Chain A
Amino acid sequence: MNRLTEKLAPWLFTIALFVIWEAVCRLFNISTITLPAPTAIYEAMVKHWWPILTNSYVTLWTTMAGFGLAVIFGLFLGIVVGWSRTIYRGLYPVMIGFNSIPKVAVVPILVIWFGIGEVPAILTAFLISFFPIVVNVATGLATMEPELEDVLRALGARKLDIMLKVGIPRAQPYFFGSLKVAITLAFVGTVVSETIAANKGIGYLMTLAGSSFQMPLVFAGLLALAVEGIVMYAVFAYIEGRMTRWAFRSSMNTAP
């Protein structure tokens, strides 16, 4: 396979997916209520472009707000957890337990606390996406080579020195890697919350469209979400590549 086809492959596969989808819908004469064909979805998109756009924007900014909180809080908690073995052991079970709670179950509580609107969506996005960041940062810090720590401690380095010179730079690839996972999870959180309790956002739009059986519009909402997810993923994958180029390069050449 030459380089050009390799570059075009993602587009070709996506187009192929839609073509097959369209063909299946026409071939088996599937009703629009069950599964709308891409052309029907496209029509709905063109027809309702303004509500889709405005609601997408709401979903995007609430997601980014929740994700931003998750980055700050996740980074902080990750460093705390990775700092010492005792904190690691003490806090980990609590976090696992917290992460096991389906976030759908938390939304009603958030609504009681903060009312219907953007705040529960932001918080749900935050709650669902901070966990991978914490785990990755903590793992990056905890897996430091003991010899390296010995070298620095034998020089009289304090724990803070070791963290600043080795721990934190070393955890960077873990951190940036986790952002890709976290951003997609943040979208899940926002949409879950919007579906249950909101008056704006793609989740709300889809619920509304679903209740009046406008299936093409529901699917248009899904597609809008997928596009936002892919774009944000690509942004963070790019940032990851830029920030931690050494990690990708050095893994090719494993030490002596």
Chain B
Amino acid sequence: MVIIDDVTLTYKGATPAVTAVRGTSLTVDHGEFAAVVGPSGCGKSTLMRLVTGLVKPTEGTVSVDGALVTGPVKIAGMAFQNANMLPWRTVIDNVMLPLEIVEPHRSRFRKHKAEYRARAEALLATVGLAGFGDRFPWELSGGMQQRASLCRSLIHEPALLMLDEPFAALDAFTREELWCVLRDLWQRLHFTVILVTHDLREAAFLADTIHVMSARPGRIVQTKKVELQRPRDLDICFEPAFTDIVHELRGKIAEVRQA
């Protein structure tokens, strides 16, 4: 689904020029849940921008869904650390925003608004926001806004979901709750996910494969398959197999931070 082949990206605008990632290779299969972890400032977010075609690699190639990425990919849903809701739109209108942009929904949107609205409401219900559609984002808590943001990134049923530390700003309980929300959505809809995070437990709980990045300039130094059975329950976080994975990853990150 996603193939990053020997990619280097240098931001030339900065003085001196900053190389965010160097010689990075990464493959994500169709329907796979991949997580990228690494020390802060290692170019994880740059990796996301590369995959979605928002920046072009200085060297190497990125291909998504069999095609070489040359511009914005148009099939990706994105969510960030901040929910980035538009405060002048109601929650449901925020969620429906991608439908106003992505074809074929774009040209059908006006005529079939009721149908799309029902779809958005159903999606909101699956993340526990039934009945909140007509509220404004500022009337919602941070965790609820983040749920809505997740809905917005999924409403157009993207083949690829890119998540850039989406739960980092939330409290521990809300975060774990949203892990389960994301897990259930993924198991139901089977899209491909690339989750950038610095939370190792989050990566181990959700992902099939975890890629560890080195400090800047970032590259993938380790790829770890998570062999825990699915569906996973939150209690798994306290099993030895799980903690072993987290422990191992932690060791690796400590090592690359030193280097």
Contacts and interface: CB of A to CB of B under 8 A. Distances in A.
B79 to A, nearest CB: 8
Nearest to A150: B54
Contacts of A172: 88
B165 to A, nearest CB: 11
B80 A147 contact: yes
B224 interface: no
Contacts of B156: 155
B214 interface: no
Q: Which 6 pairs from chain A and chain B are nearest by CB?
A: A256-B142, A156-B74, A250-B138, A250-B87, A154-B52, A253-B138
Interface in A112-165: 145, 147-148, 150-157, 161, 165
Contact of A150 (B49, B101, B139): B49
A249 B136 contact: yes
18 contacts: A145-B82, A150-B52, A150-B54, A150-B78, A150-B80, A154-B78, A155-B76, A156-B72, A165-B86, A165-B100, A166-B86, A246-B88, A247-B87, A250-B136, A255-B83, A256-B83, A256-B143, A256-B146
A55 B259 CA distance: 79
Interface string A241-256: 0001011011011011
A143 to B, nearest CB: 14
Q: Which of A166, A169, A253 has the most CB of B within 10 A?
A: A253
A84 B79 CA distance: 25
B54 A154 contact: yes
B84 A147 contact: yes
Contact of A155 (B101, B143, B170): B101
Nearest to B138: A250
A250 B84 contact: no
B1 interface: no
Q: Which of A150, A161, A250 has the most CB of B within 10 A?
A: A150
Interface in A219-255: 244, 246-247, 249-250, 252-253, 255
Interface in B134-157: 136-139, 141-143, 145-146, 152-153, 156
Interface string B99-143: 011110000000000000000000000000000000011110111
B162 interface: yes
Chain B contact residues: helix, strand, loop or mixed = loop
Contacts, number: 89
A156 B136 contact: no
Contacts of B136: 246, 249-250
A247 B152 CA distance: 21
A150 B143 CA distance: 21
B218 interface: no
A154 B162 contact: yes
B237 interface: no
Interface in B24-81: 49, 52-54, 72-74, 76-80
B3 interface: no
B72 to A, nearest CB: 5
B97 interface: yes
B145 A255 contact: yes
A155 B102 contact: yes
Contacts of A249: 87, 136, 138
B169 interface: yes
B98 interface: yes
Contacts of B54: 150, 153-154
B137 A250 contact: yes
B142 A255 contact: yes
Contacts of A145: 82, 84
Nearest to A254: B138
A156 B82 contact: no
Given A246-B88, A250-B87, A152 B53 contact: no
Contacts of B152: 151
A246 B52 CA distance: 31
A248 to B, nearest CB: 10
Contact of A148 (B72, B84, B101, B138): B84
A154 B72 contact: yes
A154 B76 CA distance: 6
Contacts of A157: 101
B97 A165 contact: yes
A256 B52 CA distance: 25
Contacts of B100: 165
Nearest to B164: A147
Contacts of B138: 246, 249-250, 252-253
Nearest to B140: A253
A67 B224 CA distance: 65
Contacts of B162: 154
